[in-house]
């Protein structure tokens, strides 16, 4: 059940081009930059859930996701004086979060403690289905499929689904070309679709039988 301040998330907001004057989030961020703390509350409410899930599924670890979530918002707060609306706010926010994740990933790699995505995926798939509800089973299946995606494809998928970013915006947020972003997104949807298909058949069989 949504809480009182859970303002409608910004999914599927149309990209309106550079400066994006019609983006309400840009206006909120400009108000916050100029000292209006209530504008941040609204902005935060609109984006917190999506950004949290983005990091959660990117990291595959709740504690790390919380750390990066805090780091991303902290950077946004600290850099508010330098904020200039050159793109949609969500592109800016997810780019900051993406950078936080990349930095974290590099730190982990340099320490030799690289996350084992495969292990996480197996954990998600090897839950005890007999005691799960159908919904929980579907969630576990989804988690497994997502975790099994290559990180770049998972990133593109989550930027689309949680941030509502377009292909062009995903390219901008991740620092790659539009064709690369498009390709990653296409593969991610295709693999997930293929993974969902057996589940849908199973569900159909149960419903019919």
Nearer to another protein, 9 or 64 (CB): 9
Q: Counting contacts by CB under 8 A, is residue 96 touching another protein?
A: yes
Return the residue of 27, 30, 182, 202 that touches another protein, per CB under 8 A.
182
| Rounded CA separation 197/207 (Å) | 15
Q: Counting contacts by CB under 8 A, is residue 202 touching another protein?
A: no
Give yes or no for a contact between 181 and 174, defined as CB atoms under 8 angstroms apart.
Answer: yes
Task: Please state the closest distance from residue 96 (CB atom) to another protein, in A.
Answer: 5
Q: Counting contacts by CB under 8 A, is residue 21 touching another protein?
A: no
Nearer to another protein, 69 or 147 (CB): 69
Show contacts with another protein in window 24-83 (CB under 8 A). 24, 32, 35-37, 40-41, 44, 46, 48-49, 52-53, 56-57, 66, 69-70, 73-80, 82
Task: Please state the closest distance from residue 176 (CB atom) to another protein, in A.
Answer: 14
Sequence-ordered list of residues with C-beta below 8 angstroms from that of 180, at least 6 positions apart, any chain: 171
Q: At what angle do helices 134-148 and 151-163 cross, to 10 degrees?
A: 130
Q: How many chain residues interact with another protein (CB under 8 A)?
A: 62
Q: Counting contacts by CB under 8 A, is residue 13 touching another protein?
A: yes
| Rounded CA separation 95/115 (Å) | 21
Binding site for another protein (CB under 8 A): 8-17, 22, 24, 32, 35-37, 40-41, 44, 46, 48-49, 52-53, 56-57, 66, 69-70, 73-80, 82, 92, 95-96, 99, 103, 135, 138-139, 142, 160-162, 166-168, 178, 182, 185-186, 189-190, 192-193, 196
């Amino acid at each position: 059940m949504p809480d009182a301040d859970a303002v409608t998330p910004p999914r599927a907001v149309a990209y309106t081009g550079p400066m994006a004057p019609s983006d309400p989030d840009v206006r909120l961020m400009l108000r916050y930059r100029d000292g209006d703390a209530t504008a941040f509350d609204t902005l935060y409410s609109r984006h917190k859930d999506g950004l949290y899930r983005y990091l959660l599924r990117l990291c595959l670890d709740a504690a790390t996701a919380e750390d990066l979530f805090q780091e991303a918002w902290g950077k946004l707060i600290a850099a508010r004086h330098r904020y200039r609306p050159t793109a949609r706010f969500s592109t800016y926010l997810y780019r900051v979060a993406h950078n936080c994740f990349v930095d974290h990933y590099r730190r982990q790699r340099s320490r030799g403690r690289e996350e084992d995505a495969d292990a996480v995926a197996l954990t998600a798939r090897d839950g005890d289905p007999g005691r799960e509800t159908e919904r929980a089973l579907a969630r576990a299946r989804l988690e497994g499929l997502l975790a099994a995606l290559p990180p770049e494809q998972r990133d593109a998928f989550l930027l689309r689904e949680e941030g509502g970013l377009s292909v062009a915006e995903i390219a901008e947020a991740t620092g790659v070309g539009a064709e690369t972003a498009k390709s990653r997104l296409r593969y991610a949807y295709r693999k997930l679709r293929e993974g969902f298909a057996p589940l849908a058949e199973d569900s159909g069989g149960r419903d019919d039988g």
